[in-house]
Chains A and B, each alone.
Chain A
Amino acid sequence: MNTRGLRSQLKDSVPVAGLCTQAGSYGVQDPLRKGFSSVKNELLPSHPLELSEKNFHLNQDKMNFSTLRNIQGLHAPLKLQMEYRATRQIQRLPFLQSSNIALDTLRGNDESIGFEDVLNDPAQSEVMGDPHMMMEYKLGLL
């Protein structure tokens, strides 16, 4: 199995540690934006909701899939997760914003409006990630 680029596909795990690493964009400490470094800042969340919001969709999915498995058997979550994986791959290049229509329709996001649509919409962000770096991360060259 070719494991190149596997890390970028391990989107199912959101690391808990590394909440607010002192390293800025270039890998060195960034005291201007992050303040003075302290171990406590890196390990503890800055806001009670930070962790729960980061993992919200993951946890909801886990709950839904396990309920579905209990009701309908293993095939139901397997099929759904296969479909999720397939639609998640329909993307533009990583530094460009993709519309994710198929993924949104599967999840039901096309029929609801939440804070993720109103606040900090990635499609409206004023800065773009470095194209080369993002492509290298995706291909596993980084």
Chain B
Amino acid sequence: MMNIDQRPCESQRGGFSFENSRRNAMLEENLSKLGYSAPKARKTGTTIAGIMYKDGVILGADTRATDDMVVADKNCMKIHYIAPNIYCCGAGVAADAEITTQMMASNVELHSLSTGRPPMVVTVTRQLKQLLFRYQGHIGSSLIVGGVDATGTHLYSIYPHGSTDKLPYLTMGAALHSVFSLSLSTDRSGAAAAMSVFEDRYKPNMELKEAKTLVRDAIAAGIFCDLGSGSNVDLCVITKAGVEYLRGYDQPAQKGRKQGEYKYKPGTTAVLTKTVTPLSLDLVEEAVHLMDTK
């Protein structure tokens, strides 16, 4: 679509187009006067977590995507591929996280082809950081990047405005931008619940089984204590040897089974009266059109 803000004689540029922002601002203002609200972007109000254990890094995430107060996707994938040895969990606006990680995967591949070396986790983190800072938080995605590269095991978290943290265990959730009438107790969705589990039971250099259980418990805490997180737990175990993507590792919140049959038998409700009114219709015109099926 041609950018109408540029003069017709100038050549066009790609990238974001701000043509409609004035119109959108005016629409929002007018809609709120009438009591409606503009549609909100689908967020993964989420619990994501990552820990470093003895042989590598484990990333975990829940699988619910919400659309304001309705579950939009019961089983979405929040652990995205970046490189064969680097994976990234994304929280926040679902589309932003998805597109950002896809672009990063492409960039990292091009970069590693150009340098001739396997990619490093710091490269991904730095590029993500610079991209998110450039857009000043308008790209609403919080990410946890983890991987094993030539220099060792690394785990970073990146906030929507571009700040990063490097820690042995991390949790993230979607940051709330607007104030809902139902107030949630934490600013960052299920992150606090998961972090409390980590703070209690994390030990450096854990074994694989123990670490997997810890991450699963942290995500389950987020699933149970936060409305924006739910459904299953996905895990991704990254070691020097390779990656094990465990989709649907655990399903803590399964739907209960009904105890009995709750349908009513026909004839339960007694019929008191019955009136039949025939509608007399006259045939006015009859026309037959043959369809050409050659």
Contacts and interface: CB of A to CB of B under 8 A. Distances in A.
Do A and B pair up? The answer is: yes
A113 B134 CA distance: 15
Contact of A120 (B4, B8, B17, B103): B17
Interface residues of B, number: 33
A88 to B, nearest CB: 11
Contacts of A137: 9-10
B111 A111 contact: yes
B16 A24 contact: no
Contacts of B110: 111-113
A79 interface: no
A122 B135 contact: no
B271 interface: no
Sorting the interface of chain A by its residue count into under 10, 10 to 19, 20 to 34 or 35 or more gives 35 or more
Contacts of A67: none
A118 interface: yes
Interface SS, A side: loop
Contacts of A112: 107, 110-111
A14 to B, nearest CB: 10
Interface string B131-156: 10011101000000000000000000
Contacts of A129: 2, 8-9, 11-12
A134 interface: yes
A47 B99 CA distance: 21
Interface of B: 1-5, 8-18, 21-23, 25-26, 99, 103, 106-107, 110-111, 114, 131, 134-136, 138
Given A50-B18, A115-B15, A118-B103, 10 more contacts: A33-B4, A41-B22, A46-B21, A49-B18, A113-B103, A113-B107, A116-B15, A120-B17, A127-B2, A134-B9
